[in-house]
Amino acid sequence: MTRTLLALFLLGSLGAFADEPLHVVTTIETFADLARSIGGDQVEVKSLSHGYQDPHFVEAKPNLMVVLNRADVLARVGLDLEIGWLPPLVTGSRNEKILPGQSGDIDCSQFIDPLDVPTTKVDRSQGDIHPAGNPHYWIPPVNAVRIAKGMMERFSQLRPGSKEYFAQRFQAFVADLKTRAVKWEALARPLAGAKVVTYHKSWSYVSKWLKLDEVGYVENRPGIPPSPDHLAQLITTMKAVGAKKVIVETFYNRAIADEVAEQAGATLVSAPSNVGASKDITTYPQLVDALLAALTK
Amino acid sequence: MKRVLPFTLTLLVASGAFAQEPPDAGAPASSSLADELDLAAGTPSKAAPVVPPQSPVSRAFQSLNPDISVIADVTAGLARGPSYSTAGDDPVLSHAVGELPAGLTAQEVEIGFQSVVDPYFKAELYLTIPNQSGLEVEEAVVTTTSLPANLQARTGLFRSAFGRNNGQHLHVQEFTRRPLVNEAYLGVDGLRAPGAQLSWLVPAPFFLQLSGEVFAVGAPEGSPHLSTFGGTPASSKGASAAGPSLTGTAELKAFFPATESLSVSAGLNVARGTSPGLGCVPGPVVLCLDVALPSPSTLGAFDLYVKYKPPNVAGGYFALAWTTEVFVRQLDGPPTLPLSGTPGPDGGLYTQLVAQVARRWLVGLREDLLGTPSTGYMPRTQRTSLSVTYLFSEFARLRAYGERETTAPPGLGFFSGPPVSAAYLQLEVSMGAHGAHAF
């Protein structure tokens, strides 16, 4: 009798559990859109940062602990991108489900092949570097598919009853990107081989995808303002090699990059790097559209 | 040519320092994007380690050793007379130029170890060497990570959550010296002692946290006065005979994001214990002593932190933070000789504005007031401080700091005592992996 009651209780609990949407929290808005694309109405998604913020320097506001406290899943960039603000929020959230290594923790960097991994010993004389690799990896469509697939698999583990639903939505997501692929490839083709300068070394994955040739960086040591000497040398190099674009994320101050572009006879490209970078970029495909539009303008 | 050559070399070195991308990164150049997407969708998700296992440098990132950091503050200064009081991590000027205290000191060296212990605990150890005076444990604390019902417990030796400044280490301070109220009411070391804390994240739509703490404060060794709030002063019982006594605190913290750029954090705090031994004997010339006030006391505090900071720097780097803490104390009975007077209440406050005026520059102004209200043994003392900080990077900064302080004779108002001024130049460097700080 006791066993029967226990079984009924467990079944009832599972039923209630199955109806409850998966509470997904992401550290960047692009991941939030990917999670919505895969999770549909089976997930409730919130992002801790906005696309118009620098994801290195989000303020660890205590209200974000409240958001994390209710999370079933935390999808984060990893590779130390959020190391300056996320750990105290996770600890303060008192939510063991999202602790590193737990079932609710998705370090999305595990799904991609990291670039710019140092092979020699590094130190902070090179600036605020990322020793495990470059964390700005989410824009190229191949990586977006890999991340979405990783989310689908984890959501399915946590909500096995919705496994088919997540798989169908993933296939639809891939199919949608494939329909856009022809247009994106056509837009990207003229960019191949273009010599560019970027503000921060955060476009490596995009450059690899679009075959851009990065010839220098405005901020040559990440997180440290560039010296006048470096800027003068950069401008000389840009003129020598014919670099015609300076790419800067929308959340950075453009003053220095503007000056470099003007002095070198190049164009400043204020490029979105995340969903939410502007009001009209609300989905991942819109992010790629906007980025390609900015680069080909 | 002079400029091009170093730049070219820099590019060569920089490019050599990074690995070429793995051969399977991305997709073959000859295939179409649609094919690459199919491939990415069809192949099992990569679950490869973040770094290639072949690299000995990369393998070090998977070490289970604690994160280790060292933060050093080296400070030079010059003062025109002694300050009303000195916190444990304030710079000590041990030499003199003529009649004036002056010197160069390693104000603090902090050595930190932080690690996840297991699925249930994380641990932090902070050792400190203030003013070359020997190694102390500043904090050695274990925090739970998986208690139910939104609870979290901490135990060990740690800084109390009482107020805002008390929980912060020196390198988080916006000024070279701590506020006067912290020294006067929580002791020269602040409220930190062996104890336990239980906090509850209240299930509310905004951040609301309630915490309670108990500390066992023993008599300090080799010092007649209490170095922290609570405990039993050695001078009243003798250091060897004095056992620890309990100090209790309770704190309620709330946070409101008024707008995306404007944040408000507020706290109500209460503590019950023996007051630290800082008091001043009234007379024609005010004499401040480190003596015990062994009377039990109740301490209340309100803290407010308002910060304006836009979500990004596209429009500029300006940010502004306003912090205020107000303390009020009530002794259970009158203080013992050589002090005299009514048991209070007495109190103090500080209010400070810190503005980031450029990417690398911060300017801060603070006003400290003690004796609001005043008693015979807590005269009216004020200090005005100005701080200008230059950030070399996230890990190094240089700070110029100046202050002017007055302590009034009994019955007189603020600013009526003889002024004492001081100036400091403080260099701070941070090495290793130091964890992120709370808001």
Task: Please report residues of A whose CB lies closer than 8 A to that of B41.
Answer: 145, 149, 170-171, 174
Task: Please report residues of A whose CB lies closer than 8 A to that of B55.
Answer: 117, 119
Measured in angstroms, the CA of B49 and the nearest CA of chain A are apart by 6
Q: Which residue of B has its CA nearest to A49?
A: B311
DSSP secondary structure string for all residues of B220-249? PTT-SS-SSSSS--HHHH-TTTPPPEEEEE
Tokens in use for A233?
Answer: 């040398």
Percent of chain B at pLDDT > 70 equals 76
The answer to whether the CB atoms of B37 and A145 lie below 8 A apart is: yes
> What residues does B254 pair with on adjacent strands?
B208, B266
pLDDT tens digit string along B179-228?
Answer: 999 988 898 889 999 999 999 999 999 999 999 999 998 766 655 555 67
* Cα four-point dihedral sign A244, A248, A250, A256: negative
**Predicted complex ipTM:** 0.91
> What residues does B421 pair with on adjacent strands?
B404
Beta-strand pair B136-144/B151-159: antiparallel
Q: Does B28 touch chain A (CB under 8 A)?
A: no
pLDDT average, residue stretch B63-81: 92
Measured in angstroms, the CA of B320 and the nearest CA of chain A are apart by 14
d(CA A168, CA A182): 23
**Nearest-5° angle of CA A233, CA A234, CA A236?**
65
A111 closest CB neighbour out of B45, B392, B438: B45
d(CA B20, CA B18): 7
pLDDT value for B288: 58
Beta strands in A2-128 (DSSP E): 22-26, 43-47, 73-76, 105-107
The answer to whether the CB atoms of A252 and B37 lie below 8 A apart is: no
Measured in angstroms, the CA of A142 and the nearest CA of chain B are apart by 5
Query: Hey, how many other C-beta atoms are within 10 angstroms of the C-beta on B386?
Result: 15
pLDDT tens digit string along B252-293?
Answer: 999 999 999 999 999 999 999 887 755 555 555 556 555 555
pLDDT value for B332: 83
Residues 6+ apart with CB under 8 A from B322: B304, B305, B306, B307, B351, B352, B353
In which element (H, E) is residue B335 found?
A: none
* pTM attached to this predicted model: 0.88
In which element (H, E) is residue B185 found?
A: helix B180-186
pLDDT average, residue stretch A80-108: 96
B201 closest CB neighbour out of A69, A128, A145: A69
d(CA B232, CA B236): 8
> What residues does A243 pair with on adjacent strands?
none
The answer to whether the CB atoms of A127 and B36 lie below 8 A apart is: no
pLDDT average, residue stretch A210-237: 96
pLDDT value for B88: 85
Q: CB-hemisphere CA count at 13 Å for B438?
A: 17
Give the burial string for A7-30 (b: 16+ CB within 10 Å, else e): eeeeeeeeeeeeeeebbbbbbbbb
For residue B398, which phi and psi values (nearest 5 degrees)?
-125, 130
Q: Does B98 touch chain A (CB under 8 A)?
A: no
Task: Report, in angstroms and rounded to the nearest whole number, the Rg of chain A calculated over CA atoms.
Answer: 21
The answer to whether the CB atoms of B27 and A142 lie below 8 A apart is: yes
Q: Which residue of A has its CA nearest to B203?
A: A66
Mean pLDDT over each residue of chain A, to the nearest integer: 93
SS3 A6: helix
pLDDT at B18 over 50: no
Measured in angstroms, the CA of A30 and the nearest CA of chain B are apart by 17
The answer to whether the CB atoms of A94 and B152 lie below 8 A apart is: yes
Residues 6+ apart with CB under 8 A from B323: B164, B165, B303, B304, B305, B306, B350, B351, B352, B354
* Mutation target vs A (from B1, B2, B3; most A CBs, 10 A cutoff): B3
Task: Please report residues of A whose CB lies closer than 8 A to that of B11.
Answer: 216, 237
* Mutation target vs B (from A46, A61, A125; most B CBs, 10 A cutoff): A61
First to last CA, chain A: 73
* Cα four-point dihedral sign B234, B237, B241, B244: negative
**Nearest-5° angle of CA A198, CA A116, CA A289?**
50
Q: Does B18 touch chain A (CB under 8 A)?
A: yes
Contact B380, B370 (CB under 8 A): yes
Contact B399, B370 (CB under 8 A): no
* Cα four-point dihedral sign B9, B11, B14, B18: negative
pLDDT average, residue stretch B87-113: 86
pLDDT tens digit string along A1-40?
Answer: 445 544 544 444 444 455 689 999 999 999 999 999 999 9
Task: Please report residues of B whose CB lies closer than 8 A to that of A253.
Answer: 313-317, 359
The answer to whether the CB atoms of B51 and A127 lie below 8 A apart is: no
Measured in angstroms, the CA of A174 and the nearest CA of chain B are apart by 7
**Nearest-5° angle of CA B399, CA B404, CA B405?**
130
Task: Please report residues of A whose CB lies closer than 8 A to that of B116.
Answer: 100
pLDDT value for A297: 87
Residues 6+ apart with CB under 8 A from A172: none
Tokens in use for B324?
Answer: 């205020």
Residues 6+ apart with CB under 8 A from A10: none
pLDDT at A80 over 90: yes
pLDDT value for B30: 44
pLDDT average, residue stretch B61-72: 87
pLDDT at B58 over 50: no
d(CA A261, CA A268): 6
pLDDT average, residue stretch B408-423: 85
SS3 A223: coil
Measured in angstroms, the CA of B139 and the nearest CA of chain A are apart by 17
Residue B66 DSSP symbol: P
Beta-strand pair B151-159/B192-201: antiparallel
Tokens in use for A255?
Answer: 């003053």
